[in-house]
Structure 1
């Protein structure tokens, strides 16, 4: 198992407008859940 993962997340929100968020990370696999939480917070902040 690799000691890193690279993920790319693209999110579009439809609420009268479209917001696109595209980010990539390279981090240890065990931090994947934390990375996804960070992405969700980033989207909430806009």
Structure 2
């Protein structure tokens, strides 16, 4: 907003965004991986 509460908006240029696919899943805690060796870490978190 510009000029207090007059209601005017100033649009910003589009900013390119980057998405990392590993952010779909959280990493599995190391203690859980140690308790169950059959588990594998989620992709991107190795």
Same fold (TM over 0.5): no
More helix by share: 1
More strand by share: 1
Superposition TM-score, scaled by structure 1 size: 0.20
Superposition TM-score, scaled by structure 2 size: 0.20
Q: Which of these two proteins has the greater Rg computed from alpha carbons? A: 2
Looking at both structures, which has the greater relative contact order when contacts are Cα pairs under 8 Å and sequence separation is at least 6? 1
